[in-house]
Amino acid sequence: MKKVLITGGAGFLGSHLCDRFIKEGFHVVAMDNLLTGSMRNIEHLFPLPQFEFYHHDVTRFVHVPGQLDYILHFASPASPIDYLKMPIQTLKVGALGTHNLLGLAREKKARILVASTSEVYGDPLEHPQSEDYWGNVNPVGPRGVYDEAKRFLEAITMAYHNFHGVDTRIVRIFNTYGPRMRVEDGRVLPAFFSQAIRGEGLTVFGDGSQTRSFCYVHDLIEGIFRLLMSDYHLPVNIGNPDEITILEFAQEIIDLVGNSNAFIDYRPLPVDDPKVRQPDITRAKAILGWEPQVPRAEGLLETMKYFKEVVH
User: Catalytic positions, please?
Assistant: 146
- Which x/- pattern, by CB under 6 A, does the window 102-121 give for ligand UDP? --------------------
Among 16, 92, 182, 212, binds ligand UDP (CB under 6 A): 212
In the region spanning residues 153 to 192, those forming contacts with ligand UDP, defined by CB under 6 A, are 175, 187-188, 191
Residue 49: helix, strand or coil by DSSP? coil
Residue 137 CB, shortest distance to ligand UDP, in Å, is 13
The helix or strand, by DSSP H or E, that contains position 108, with its residue range, turns out to be helix 98-108
Q: Which is nearer to ligand UDP, 8 or 166 (CB)?
A: 8
- Compute CA distances 234 → 175, 237, 306, whole Å: 20, 10, 35
Candidate segments 105-113, 197-205, 230-238, 294-302, binder of ligand UDP by CB under 6 A: 197-205
In the region spanning residues 56 to 95, those forming contacts with ligand UDP, defined by CB under 6 A, are 79-80
Report the C-alpha gap between 68 and 54 in whole angstroms. Answer: 15
Half-sphere exposure of 39 (CA within 13 A, CB side): 6
- φ, ψ for residue 26 (rounded to 5)? -90, 160
Residue 175 CB, shortest distance to ligand UDP, in Å, is 5
Q: Which is nearer to ligand UDP, 104 or 215 (CB)?
A: 215
Among 136, 203, 245, 259, binds ligand UDP (CB under 6 A): 203
Report the C-alpha gap between 165 and 150 in whole angstroms. Answer: 21
Q: What would the DSSP string read from start to end of 25-37?
A: T-EEEEEE--SS-
Q: Which is nearer to ligand UDP, 6 or 253 (CB)?
A: 253
Residue 301 CB, shortest distance to ligand UDP, in Å, is 19
Residue 112: helix, strand or coil by DSSP? strand
Query: How many chain residues touch ligand UDP (CB under 6 A)?
Result: 14
Q: Identify each DSSP E strand in the chain by its residue range.
A: 3-7, 27-32, 51-55, 70-73, 111-117, 168-173, 176-177, 201-205, 211-213, 215-216, 236-238, 243-245, 263-267
Contact residues: ligand UDP, CB under 6 A: 79-80, 175, 187-188, 191, 203-205, 210, 212, 246, 270, 273
